[in-house]
Amino acid sequence: MLSPWFMRRRLGLAITLPAVGLLGVVAPVSAVEARQAADKAVTGRPVERSLQRSGFIESLTKPAIAEVRAAAAKQLRDIEPMLAQADPASDAPRPRQLMDLVSEATDAPTPEEIVSEAVASDEASADESATDEADEATEAAPPVLSAPSESTSNADNADVPIPDERVLDDLQFLDPAPNPLLIQTQPEEVEIIGTQPLNLEEALALSYRNNPDLQVVLLELERSEAALREAQAANFPTLSINGTVQGQNTTSSGDTQLVPTPDGGFTFESETAEEVGFFYSTQAELVYNLFSSGRRSASISAAAEQVQLALLEVERRREELRLATANEFYDLQAAIESIRISQAFLNEAERNLQDTTLREQVGVGTRFDVLRAEVQVANARQDVVNAERSRQVAQRSLARRLNVPPSLTITTVPVDIAGNWPLSLEESIVLAYQNRAELEQQLTQRDVNELLQRVELAALGPQVNLFANYSISDFFNQEDRFSDNYALGARVSWTIFEGGAAQARARQRELDAEIAERNFEETRNTVRLGVESAYYNLQANQTNIGTARLAVTQAQEALDLAILRFDAGVGTQLDILNAQSELTNAEVNLVQAIVGYNRSLAELERAVSNLPESYYEALPY
The pLDDT of residue 160 is above 50: no
The pLDDT of residue 74 is above 70: no
Confidence of residue 78 (pLDDT cuts 50, 70, 90): low
- Neighbouring C-alpha atoms within 13 Å toward the C-beta of 88: 19
Per-state percent for the chain, helix, strand, coil, to nearest 5: 60, 15, 25
Name every residue whose Cβ is closer than 8 Å to that of residue 138 and which is 6 or more positions away in sequence.
none
**Which one-letter DSSP state was computed for residue 153?**
-
User: What's the pLDDT score for residue 544?
Assistant: 92
C-alpha R_g of the chain: 43
Mean pLDDT of 525-545: 94
User: What's the pLDDT score for residue 180?
Assistant: 83
Asked if residue 574 lies in contact with residue 582, where contact means CB atoms within 8 angstroms, the answer is no
The pLDDT of residue 222 is above 70: yes
Name every residue whose Cβ is closer than 8 Å to that of residue 422 and which is 6 or more positions away in sequence.
615, 616, 617
**How far, CA to CA in Å, does 243 sit from each of 219, 284, 473, 484?**
39, 9, 9, 13
d(CA 96, CA 207): 55
User: What's the pLDDT score for residue 310?
Assistant: 94
**How far, CA to CA in Å, does 507 sit from each of 162, 279, 295, 501, 504?**
59, 53, 16, 10, 5
Asked if residue 435 lies in contact with residue 608, where contact means CB atoms within 8 angstroms, the answer is yes
Asked if residue 354 lies in contact with residue 346, where contact means CB atoms within 8 angstroms, the answer is no
| Total count of residues recorded for the chain | 621
The pLDDT of residue 510 is above 90: yes
Q: Which of 4-8, 212-216, 264-268, 589-593 has the lowest mean pLDDT?
A: 4-8
The pLDDT of residue 92 is above 90: no
The pLDDT of residue 138 is above 60: no
**Which one-letter DSSP state was computed for residue 166?**
G
Percent of the chain with pLDDT over 90: 43
Name every residue whose Cβ is closer than 8 Å to that of residue 503 and which is 6 or more positions away in sequence.
457, 460
- Neighbouring C-alpha atoms within 13 Å toward the C-beta of 158: 3
Question: How many other CB atoms are found less than 10 A from the CB of residue 178?
Answer: 6
198 three-class SS: strand
Strand 194-198 to strand 408-412: parallel, antiparallel, or no bridges (unpaired)?
parallel
Q: Which of 37-41, 158-162, 437-441 has the lowest mean pLDDT?
A: 158-162
Q: Which of 43-47, 424-428, 466-470 has the lowest mean pLDDT?
A: 43-47
